[in-house]
Copies of this chain bind each other. A is one copy, B any other.
Amino acid sequence: MTRGRAAGPPLSTSDLHAAVGVRLGRRAYRYTNGRRRLVDVIAAAGQPVTLPDIVAAAPDLAPSSVYRNLDVLERSGVVDRIVSNGDHAYFEFAEPLLSHHHHLICVDCGAIEDVRLDDDVEAIVDRSLAEAAGRAGFRPLRHSLDLHGHCADCA
């Protein structure tokens, strides 16, 4: 996978585990060894990962358990699931654990890479969207701003 700038979590590994532990605990989930491994793999990737990515990095993790744990982590607000036109879903840390960002999505291979925009652009977007949402009686939670095109590998 082509990596741009590193976009790793702003948290140290130990802070990350602590934050995940808290979120799991709030939902009465245990922070088991397998879940720690999963968090480590996602953190090490520094970019959104698919199930094959995860299993390749940690072959002893059972796919079904990984899916189940990704679900648990998603419910706990630890990871977000990103569905693209590719075969697999991508997973990355949710925004409270990873600073606000957007995605470059390759229309050829489905690869997803993180990018960050200037704060003032974000502010303008939020204001404009809030206005449009208000007109439709829609209560906003978050926005997603993705750029679709050809990645460096597929160009």
Interface range, A side: 35 or more
One of B132, B144, B146, B149 near A117 (C-beta < 8 A):
B132
In this assembly, does A96 line the interface, its C-beta being within 8 Å of a C-beta of chain B?
no
One of B133, B139, B150 near A138 (C-beta < 8 A):
B150
B140→A149 contact, CB < 8 A: yes
B136→A152 contact, CB < 8 A: yes
A132→B144 contact, CB < 8 A: no
**Complex Cα–Cα for A137 and B5 (A):** 11
The 0/1 profile, CB within 8 Å of B marked 1, for residues 88-126 of chain A is 000000000000001010110000010111100100110
Closest CB in chain B relative to A47 CB, distance in Å: 11
B138→A152 contact, CB < 8 A: yes
B137→A2 contact, CB < 8 A: yes
Closest CB in chain B relative to A34 CB, distance in Å: 24
Chain A residues with CB under 8 Å of chain B are: 2, 4-5, 81, 83-85, 102, 104, 106-107, 113, 115-118, 121, 124-125, 128-129, 132-133, 135-152, 155
Q: Known pairs A4-B135, A4-B136, A139-B150; list 7 more (Cβ under 8 Å).
A: A102-B129, A104-B138, A115-B136, A129-B145, A144-B148, A145-B145, A145-B146
